[in-house]
Each structure stands twice: as structure tokens, then as C-alpha cells.
Structure 1
Amino acid sequence: MSTVTRRVETALPETGSREWWALYLLAPPVLIGAGILAFPGLVFDQFIWQYLWGPVVADAASEPVMHEGIRAVRGYNAVNTVTYLAAVVYSLPGLRVYLDQLDVTFDARLAYGFAPIIIAGGAMRALEDIGLLGDYAVWFITPSIYFVVTAVTVLALGIGALARDRNTGSIPSTVGLIGSVWAVGAVGWVLWYGLSTSTPLRLWVPVATTGIALGATALYYWGASFVNVTHLRHPLILLAVFGQLWDAAQNLIGVTFLGYSPKLVVTNLVYQATGFAGSTFVLKLVVTVGIVWYLADAKEEMNHTWWWLMTFFIGAIGLPMGVRGSLRMLLGA
């Protein structure tokens, strides 16, 4: 061990202490802030603007944007992809400690409590697509929206823990209530906009997409009863199946009846190769069943928290996409 390393370790507070966690959480923003003050052209203009914030602004403007002579274009690039991944990885230890401090129980009730927040995120993305968020649109574009939804979720968990400790509620019910208020408000905004502007509402679209997803999930549940894999009908797995099939259903309706094309690269390639409007639905169904079969079979051997996170993540990918697509098509956007 070098002398410099030894001196740094001696100067650092004890691992796991409040001071250590304060340093862990404050170090990135302090370093970035110091870098911007010392080298604004290099740190902000040529890094943060060009590769991180600029692409988000360009996405909101639907065209390339300029700042200090530096051009930023919408979409992902190698720099922001690696940066976002590093930010997620760096945040995981702190998030795990936060959840441990709150004594969160990872069960089906918590997953279903989270669902309204995920749905609200999809509705807010639809509001941005429609152009209703104005200057706030940059906060509801990928990846900004993930940080917003995460912040709301973390805050809701804290409020839920306070309610539980005071015997006035539970974490799942509190998180679900906060998410439901947000989701109802966002969806209500979409409907209000459609009605107030006399925009023709395709009410049959959300009815059809939700109905197809529910029907397909019911068929999955019925089919799973004939297979000797106990956890195939676990409530969390049913949520994952429904979330993915809702996304598949909105793709099916959009491609078959409204002239849309699948947005994801893989599903669009399959659609272009087959020319079959239901290709995305079939692909999602097959892949989803394969994944949940593996998860159901591995539940007893896998760490519970890891299994919960993986299973919930499958549904959390599909739910907002189903909401976003259904609301966009509702208004013809």
C-alpha cells in the first residue's frame, strides 16, 4: 500500500458511519461543482452539456440545440450511457442502506404499491409526447424521468415509513396512495386536454389495450395451473406478465389499426422482417413467459431481495410503455 493511499484511508471517517455516508453522497456533486467552477468550458460545455444535458434539451426541442458554439443532439451516446450506468451503480449501496434503515419488506404488496408510480411515469411521458409540459418537458424525457420517478419513490418510501411507525398506515398503502394521486392527476390532464380542445378521443384504444393485456394474463394464469411450477402464478410474476403484455397490446393496436410502427429497435426489426402486425405481441409473450418461468423455478434458490427486484423490474419496464402508448393513441399523437 502506497503512502498516499495510507494517508487517504487514515483521513477518511470510519466505513458505515454517518460521516462516511455523508462524504459518499456529497462527494460527486461537490467534485462536479468544483470542476465546473475551475474548468467551466471543459466540464460543463464539453462534457455535461454536449453529452448529458444537451441531448435531453434537444429531445424536448425535437431538434439539435447549441450552447457556447457546442452542438448537442437528441438520443443516447457512448458517454451518457456509461455515465448513467455509473451513476446507477454508485447509488446502489446508498439505496440499499436507505431501504435497510426503513426496514422495507419486499413482498407483493410493495410491488403493487409501486405500480401506480410506474403508471404515473408513463402518463407523464405521454404528456411530454403531446407537448403539454412546456419548459418542464426536459424533466420527463429519458433519462431525466427515471431520476424524477426514483426521487418520488424514495420520498414516498420515507413518508410510508413514518406512517407505519406512527401506526397511521403502511409503506405499501402510502406509496400506493401517493402514486395513485399522481397517476390520476396525469391521466386526468390528458383527458381534460382532449375534451377542452375538442380533440377526437379514441376511447376504444385504452379499453382495447387494457382488455387484451388482462385477457392474455388470465390465459397465462389458466395455463400456468397445468404446470408443476409453484411460483408461476405468484402475484409479483402476474404483475410482470401483465406489464409486458400491456406494452405488447399497445404495439399490436397501434401497428394493426393506426399505422404506427414498433419503437424499440429489436421489435421493429422483427416487424420489418416478418411484416406481421402481431409480431411484437408474440415476441413479448414468448420472451416474458420464458423469463418468468426461469424466475418462478429459481425463487427458492435465489436471494429473496434480488428475486423481487428482478421480477418487479420486468413488469416496471412494460407498465409505463403500455400507459404511454395507450394515452398517445387515445389523442392521436
Structure 2
Amino acid sequence: MSTVTHRVETALPATGTREWWVLYLLAPVVLVGAALLAFPTLVYDRFVWQYLWGPVVADAAGQPVTHEGIRAVRGYNAVNTVTYLAAVVYSLPGLRAYLDSLDVTYDARLAYGFAPIIVAGGAMRALEDIGLLGDYAVLFITPSIYFVVTAVTVLSLGVGALARNRNIGSIPSIVGLVGTVWAIGAVGWALWYGLSTSAPLRVWVPVATTGIALGVTALYYWGASLVDIAHLRHPLSLLAVFGQMWDAAQNLIGVTFLGYSPKLVVTNLVYQATGFSGSTFVLKLLVTGGIVWYLADAKEEMNHTWWWLMTFFIGAIGLPMGVRGSLRMMLGV
């Protein structure tokens, strides 16, 4: 640990204390608020509106929108992509402190308990794309949907902790139950909509994307058995590979057969540069394999909680995009 890092950690309150939570939650609010007061036009109009909030409004409206002469378009851009990634990274210490306060066990059961809620989030995003959420659409557009899913998860964890303490359930089972009910409802709504319209229902799309992701994960598991790194076949590693490859598979199907283009900035740039419909698939396969390999190899040296969070989030980033893309293409949106 560097001297600077040690001094910073010494000056900060102990993680999980009331003072730490106040500092952790208020610091970004104070920094952003101060920046808005000092440079309102630059910070709000040229940053928040143009790259963060404007795209959300444009997505809900289904067309570009303008504020103070500044045009915002729907979708991801380099600025909001980096900002959302930074927000995810910043959220990790808070998530860890909250989970530690509930005395959770960081194991595969907890990860697979979280998975249905993540799937539900992806399905809700697809419902918004379809136009089924009406006035509530803005709640299920990035980044608003992150706060909604986080709120549901936090509440489910709290209920799960109460159930565990009363010996009537466990945290993974309660969180998994909430997520499963939500996911079934959201996916069922999408299917009902597809069956009730005259548009062709491409059921083969989710079958193909899920099948490809499962196939690659199975090949990965087989290949990992040939290498003397035990944690390559850890359930969290498998979830990470499956989540990312589901997203890669929906990109592959959409671009190759249905005329879609990758939504994320980096993957779209690679596709535009190469003109190869499988570029996202290959890129995600290589990057995911490399990251999972590194984390598996470093597991014994890393703090277990941080290893769990990092490995879980790899899969958690891919899962909802795989669900969203598969449902959208199934319904022809």
C-alpha cells in the first residue's frame, strides 16, 4: 500500500460507520452541486443535459430533443458510457458495506439469487423499448433503471435478512424469489404483447442467443478443465462468461441476420471499423476470457469480498443486455 493511500484511508472514517455513510453518500452530491453553482452552463447544459439526461428524455420521446439550443439524441455515447462505468465502480464500496452490515455470505448462492433481478431489469428495459410503460418509461431508461433495480435489490436484501433472522428464509432465496416473480412478469408481458399483435414473433431469437451463450459457457468449462487454475470453473466465473456471451450472442444474431447494429460505443466502433458482424462476439469472448482468467488466477491473493464483487459484476453487466436485446429482436423492435 502506498504512503498516500495509507494516509487517505487513515483520514477517512471506518467503512460502514455512520460517518462513513454520510461522507460516501454526500460527497458526489456536494461535488456535483458545487460544480453546477460555479459553472451552470458548462456542467448542466454541456455535460448533464447533452450527454446524460438529454439522451434519457430523447429515448422516452422517441426522437432528438433540444434544450437551450443544445441537441441531445437517444442512446449511448462516449461520455455517458464512461460516466456510468465510473458510477458502477463508485457503487461497489457502498454495496460491500451494505452487504457486510447484513452479514451476508459471499458465495455462489448469493450471486445466483441476484441474477433474476438483473434479468428482470433487462426485461423492463425491453418493455420500455417496445413502448409499453407509458408515463413510467423514464424510470426504465439508463441511468434511471439502475436506481430502480438497486432500490428493489436493497429492499429485497433487507427483507431477506429479516427472514433469515427469524429462520423463515435466507437472503439468496428471498432476493431470488423477488427477482424471479418480477422477471416472469416482465417477460410474460413481452410475450403477451407479441402474441396479441400481428407482427411476427421471432421465438427463435431468444432460443438462439441463449443456446449460443450456454454453448460457449460449456466449451469454456471444458477448456478450463485442461488448465491447472481451479477457480476458472468457479460458479461465479461461469456466470460471468454466460452473462457476457449472452450479450455477445444477441449482438451477433442482430447484426448478422436482422440488420441491427451494436448499441454500445466501443462495440459499435469496432463493428464500424471492421465491418465484421461477429466483431462484438469475438471482442467480448477475448476480453471476458482474459478478465475471468486473471481473476481466477488472482483469487487466492485477492480479498474474497472484492473478488466476488468484481467477478459477479462482469456477468451482471452482460445479463441484462442479453435479455433486452433478445426480447427486442423477438418482437421486432
Give the TM-score range, shorter chain. Answer: 0.7 to 0.9
- For residues 281 and 85 of structure 1, the distance between their equivalents in structure 2, rounded to whole angstroms, comes to 21
- Structure 1 counterpart of 2:103, which letter? D
Partner of 1:115: 115
Partner of 2:72: 73
Partner of 1:165: 165
Change (3 A) 1:284 1:31: closer
Partner of 2:229: 229
Listed as ranges, the matches of 1:268-279 within 5 Å are 268-279=268-279
Partner of 1:206: 206
What stretches of structure 1 move > 4 A for 4+ residues in a row? 13-36, 41-52, 69-72, 75-94
Change (3 A) 1:53 1:285: closer
Partner of 1:135: 135
Listed as ranges, the matches of 1:78-157 within 5 Å are 93-157=93-157
Listed as ranges, the matches of 1:175-324 within 5 Å are 175-324=175-324
Partner of 1:10: none
Compute the displacement of 1:179 (Å): 0.4
TM-score by length of structure 1 reads 0.82
Count of residue pairs brought into register by the alignment = 318
Task: Indicate the SS of the match to 1:169.
Answer: coil
- For residues 78 and 272 of structure 1, the distance between their equivalents in structure 2, rounded to whole angstroms, comes to 15
CA deviations 1:196-244 (Å, max 9, x no partner) are: 1232101111111111111111111111111111111100000001111
CA contact (8 A) 1:120 1:179 kept: yes
The structure number with the bigger radius of gyration is 1
- Structure 2 counterpart of 1:169, which letter? G
Change (3 A) 1:101 1:214: same
Task: Indicate the SS of the match to 1:115.
Answer: helix
Compute the displacement of 1:126 (Å): 0.8
Partner of 2:6: none
CA contact (8 A) 2:92 2:309 kept: no
- Structure 1 counterpart of 2:187, which letter? V
CA deviations 1:230-278 (Å, max 9, x no partner) are: 1111000000011111111111111221122222233233333433322
Structure 2 gap ranges (5+)? 1-12
What is the RMSD computed on CA atoms of the aligned residues?
A: 3.2
Partner of 1:332: 332
